[in-house]
Structure 1
Amino acid sequence: MTFLTIGHRGVMGVEPENTLRSYLRAERSGMDAIALDLQLSKDGALVALHDPEVDRTTDGSGAVAHLTLAELRELDAGEGERVPVFEDVLDAVRVPLQASVRDRAAAGALAELLLRLDLTARVEVASPDDALLAETARRVPGARTVLYADSFGDGAGDLVARARTAGAATIAADIRRLTLEAVETAHTAGLRVTGRAVNTLDQLRLARALGLDGAVTDFPEIRSTGRFTA
């Protein structure tokens, strides 16, 4: 079994998150995939930003949904980087992408893009909302989806049932709240489990001990120390 290392918003521990600079650094570091976040601008552009507001990660302020793409492009997202649209990311890197969406409008725009550009082999759709994942799977034949979960311990059976109903192949959960029993329950159901965010050697050792299928990390160093097959 191959252990996958997934760059978190690129490699946000060393580069500005969700920027082309961060994604390129993740690819150069050998990450197997890159996880990023997508939201819709006021005029319907699918942009790479995590927060509902731009205040934390740019020099601007206000809600993403209230700003046009042109306005977002004027913002400094760190180190002189600009807010990229999803097509920018697709052009900039070649590694697989795990695109996270949290609302129906963004999920719908992403589904349309997956269909138009035939991206199902390259892009996984991730969300904490199992209904959004189920809708994506219905709209996009062959879509691969990931269910995000903060907690995956006491309710392992319920979470597995949610993932299967949504058509998700993978559950991505907080590494600090995973248990061996929960991981085994998911594996028995034919699901993969990844841990996030795995940012220390101790957390990497825990990921291995739990038998995880991969780790989401903020740091490129985890890739070099975590490369292994079993």
Structure 2
Amino acid sequence: MTFLTIGHRGVMGVEPENTLRSYLRAERSGMDAIALDLRLSKDGVLVAVHDPEVDRTTDGSGAVADLTLAELRGLDAGQGEGMPVFEEVLDAVRSPLHASVPDRAAAAALAELLLRRDLVSRVEVASADGALLADVARQVPGVRTTLFAEPVGGGTDALVDRARAAGAATIALDIHRITLELVEAAHAAGLRVTGLAVDTLDRLRLARALGLDGVTTGFPEIRSTGRFTA
């Protein structure tokens, strides 16, 4: 099975996260896929940003949901980069994308876009909400989904059951919360397991030892393990 290296918000360890600059560098670095985060602006446009507020990642302040696209475009997201609209990302890079959505409104907008632009084979949808993922799968037949999860409340079996109920193809967890038992149980159920966020060589070694199917990293050097220095 192929071991995937997924660029975290592009390559956020070396470029401003969730910007076109970061995505383009992730693609040039040979990442197998790029993970990004989507939220809706006040006027209903899917923009790439992780936090519910813009304060941490831009020179502005306030909630994304309270700002129009025009207002968001006026913000500096680092090194002069703006906050991209998702469709701009689709046009800027050719890599497979793992798009994380925080709520049903953003998920519905993403589902509509996937159908309209026939992106089922290119975009994988991720969320911590299993019911949301199940809804997206019903709206967009054939779409692949990833469940962000924590191993709580019932242990390994419960987590695998949650992923299967959501129709997810992959479970993604913090690398330090993953056990060999979980990986084996997920694989037995036909699920992939990926680790977050694998930004050092030691974490990459752990991912390999656990038999993970891939990692999310913010550093291009993880792609070529021998040259990485933390």
TM-score by structure 1 length?
0.96
Note the aligned Cα RMSD (angstroms). 1.2
Distance in 2, Cα, partners of 1:39 & 1:55: 15
After superposition, what is the alpha-carbon deviation per residue over 1:91-123, rounded to whole angstroms, capped at 9, x for unaligned? 110010000001010000000000100101000
Quote the residue 1:122 is aligned against. 122
1:5 aligns with 2:18: no
Aligned pairs (5 A) from 1:1-230: 1-151=1-151, 155-225=155-225
Distance in 1, Cα, partners of 2:186 & 2:153: 11
SS in 2 for 1:195: strand
Distance in 2, Cα, partners of 1:69 & 1:129: 26
Moved more, 156-165 or 33-42: 156-165
Distance in 2, Cα, partners of 1:86 & 1:36: 9
Distance in 2, Cα, partners of 1:150 & 1:46: 27
Task: Please tell me whether the aligned partners of residues 7 and 31 of structure 1 are also in contact (alpha carbons under 8 angstroms).
Answer: yes
| Aligned-pair identity (%) | 80
Distance in 1, Cα, partners of 2:189 & 2:28: 34
Task: Please tell me whether the aligned partners of residues 149 and 171 of structure 2 are also in contact (alpha carbons under 8 angstroms).
Answer: yes
Letter in 2 for 1:86: F
Q: CA deviation at 1:155?
A: 1.3
Task: Please tell me whether the aligned partners of residues 152 and 173 of structure 1 are also in contact (alpha carbons under 8 angstroms).
Answer: no
Q: CA deviation at 1:152?
A: 7.0
SS in 1 for 2:137: helix
- Aligned residue pair count: 226
Q: CA deviation at 1:151?
A: 3.4
SS in 1 for 2:126: strand
SS in 1 for 2:70: helix
Distance in 1, Cα, partners of 2:3 & 2:105: 33
Task: Please tell me whether the aligned partners of residues 111 and 140 of structure 1 are also in contact (alpha carbons under 8 angstroms).
Answer: yes
SS in 1 for 2:141: coil
Distance in 1, Cα, partners of 2:153 & 2:144: 24
Q: CA deviation at 1:150?
A: 3.4
Task: Please tell me whether the aligned partners of residues 10 and 18 of structure 1 are also in contact (alpha carbons under 8 angstroms).
Answer: yes
Distance in 2, Cα, partners of 1:153 & 1:106: 27
SS in 1 for 2:224: helix
Unaligned runs of 5+ in 1: none
Distance in 2, Cα, partners of 1:63 & 1:218: 25
Change (3 A) 1:184 1:154: farther
Task: Please tell me whether the aligned partners of residues 151 and 159 of structure 2 are also in contact (alpha carbons under 8 angstroms).
Answer: no
Unaligned runs of 5+ in 2: none
Q: CA deviation at 1:154?
A: 6.6
